[in-house]
Structure 1
Amino acid sequence: MSPEMKQDLLNLGCLPAKIAVHYHGVPGNLIHIQKTDTTQKLCTILMLSYLDPVKGHLFALKALKAIAKQGVSEFKLRIVGAGHYEKQIKQFVSAHQLNPYVDFVGPVKYLSPAYFQEFSNADIFLHPSVKTKDDKEGIPGSLVEAMFAGLPVISTIHGGIPFVIQDKKTGLLVEEWDVENLACAIKALMDNRWLRNQIGNQARKYAESNLDLKIRELALEKIYNELIGN
């Protein structure tokens, strides 16, 4: 999946010759997003994932709480998905009076019109992954789909994410649990439509050239052919 995961295998004692790094890709040809050019002031931030601690929902909400404390109110976080951590996330939102800023959408069918509509309506895609005691991410599929959709992505230096996002070019990256810098990154994109478009366009170009499923299939076939040849 990523060089970072390769290192994990090496640390466990796996022989280097037995490891091939390969990212599977996403079906970019199916992702056709028509963004509506609007002058509305409300900034829509999208989190689309399974509701699990590793996805960083509480990290994101702490950053948004810091932004709200600055007197900024013209934003809305849409949390799309379901999972065992939903109760804790909702409790945090209520306990910190963040209800006016957060919509819980629930699950949507993968690659359905409703799924793509979430990308179409969003201004920023937020996926601040964090390590937990038992889990960490590789390269989140929804993050790559957001890149294909031309959305500016804010994420973390975590797992394989830095291998597909170049900070300040194809997305913005912060350290895990750095609430202050995550808030700054979100605010920077909220305040600058040109920057959102610039990063989103560069993310789309990178994804189309490197992360499409068909491209990755050819790379996987090459690995198989080399094994057969050996």
Structure 2
Amino acid sequence: MRTVAYFINKYLQLSETFIYNEITHIKRFHPIVIAKNILNRDVFPFEDIFLWERNKIEYILREHKAVLIHAHFGGGGIMVLPVALKLGIPIIVEFHGIDTSRYPRYFVYRRRLKKLFEKGNCFIAVSEDMKNDLVKLGCEEEKIRVCYIGIDVDKFSLKHHRVENINKIVMCGRFVEKKGFEYGIKAYARMKNKNTRLIIIGDGKLMPQMKEVVESLKLSSSVDFLGFCSHDRVKEELKRADIFLAPHVTARNGDKEGIPNTIKEAMATGLPVVSTYHSGIPELVKDGRSGFLVNERDVEGMSRCLEKLLDNPGLREEMGKRGRQMILEKFTLEGEIEELEEIYESNVKRL
């Protein structure tokens, strides 16, 4: 079986389940992983992982007869490009958001990106919005393939909405600026419907700041910070929830999302989504059909949408079903792997 070598700077951050799913579900190629740092191997077990050592990397690629290199993130592509060119191995680079939004603000990164676009074989964007960003950065449109990151829908059962005394709104993600948690909390504070709880899942450097926001708005009795949760715990919380709130924003340093997997998982569970017109999110959430979208940082608009859903259990269920159908049609892990393997095949055949 032909070998594809995945290059990842850090194997793997806890939030990078999507990369692990990719590596472990490829069927037509044998995957190996090369990483500069190895983390969380107990969470993401994988046998063929090799530590990046400049004087050994060529040997590893030759020894395993790699026919293709798949680098994750623009920085990873830049790092492994010289080796790929030296050995004549096609290189595919998959971008994820920060590498097309924040990092291009740095002149050195943009200069290296220019060479990567010139010499690299194919570039994967995880949304149409990201494809447009890559074109603006100077990548030839013909070299770009949009491949939506998919989720394993079988792991998420469709919830049945019941009228409860207390309705639960969930936010989930790392506590970083682009998640927009501050605006979600403020939208929750403006709601007139008080028979609710806000559940916030995740961890990160901004958590103390978000707790201060909650305290200043006198919401401590109705907001729960769960911290980092296992994937199974997240799924359980989604099942118990009524609405998924994803108030994403473009950070002050330019950082943007691709299309957040947390939203996909919520939709697969059958939750209606309240989110923003941010990055590729409108490609996933259709305003008025599977949820509601407002402009970034529109606290009042978010609050109105939450109220509308809380006042209409039937609308919640209807939107939730449409959302799951969208996932089944365009955002499954099976569909992503099929698309990815076609990309691999087309680039290997150019040899």
If the TM-score is normalised by the length of the shorter chain, which range does it land in? over 0.9
The whole-number CA distance in structure 2 between the counterparts of 1:123 and 1:182 is 15
Conserved in 1, the CA contact under 8 Å of 2:264 and 2:327?
yes
Unaligned segments of structure 2, at least 5 residues: 1-125
TM-superposition CA deviations, 1:163-185 (whole Å, max 9, x none): 11111112211110111111111
**Secondary structure in 1 matching 2:221:** helix
Conserved in 2, the CA contact under 8 Å of 1:33 and 1:116?
no
Indicate the larger mover: 97-106 or 218-227: 218-227
Structure 1 match to 2:244: 125
The whole-number CA distance in structure 2 between the counterparts of 1:221 and 1:138 is 21
Structure 2 match to 1:186: 306
Counterpart among 25, 30, 33 of residue 155 in structure 2: 30
The whole-number CA distance in structure 2 between the counterparts of 1:91 and 1:217 is 42
| TM-score, normalisation: structure 2 | 0.62
Structure 1 residue 99 corresponds to structure 2 residue 224 = no
Which residue identity is paired with 1:129?
H
Q: CA deviation at 1:11?
A: 1.3
Q: CA deviation at 1:33?
A: 5.0
The 5 Å alignment of 1:139-158 reads 139-158=259-278
Structure 2 match to 1:196: 316
Higher-RCO chain (CA-CA 8 Å, sequence separation at least 6): 1
Conserved in 1, the CA contact under 8 Å of 2:178 and 2:257?
yes
Q: CA deviation at 1:12?
A: 1.2
Q: CA deviation at 1:34?
A: 4.5
Structure 1 residue 116 corresponds to structure 2 residue 235 = yes
The root-mean-square deviation of aligned C-alpha atoms, in Å, is: 1.4
Counterpart among 124, 134, 138 of residue 13 in structure 1: 138
The whole-number CA distance in structure 2 between the counterparts of 1:38 and 1:15 is 50
Indicate the larger mover: 165-174 or 190-199: 165-174
Bigger fraction of residues in strand: 2
Which residue identity is paired with 2:237?
E
Conserved in 1, the CA contact under 8 Å of 2:175 and 2:202?
yes
Look at both structures and tell me which one has the larger radius of gyration over its CA atoms: 2
**Secondary structure in 1 matching 2:145:** coil
Q: CA deviation at 1:225?
A: 2.3
Structure 1 residue 228 corresponds to structure 2 residue 351 = no
Percentage of identical aligned residues? 35
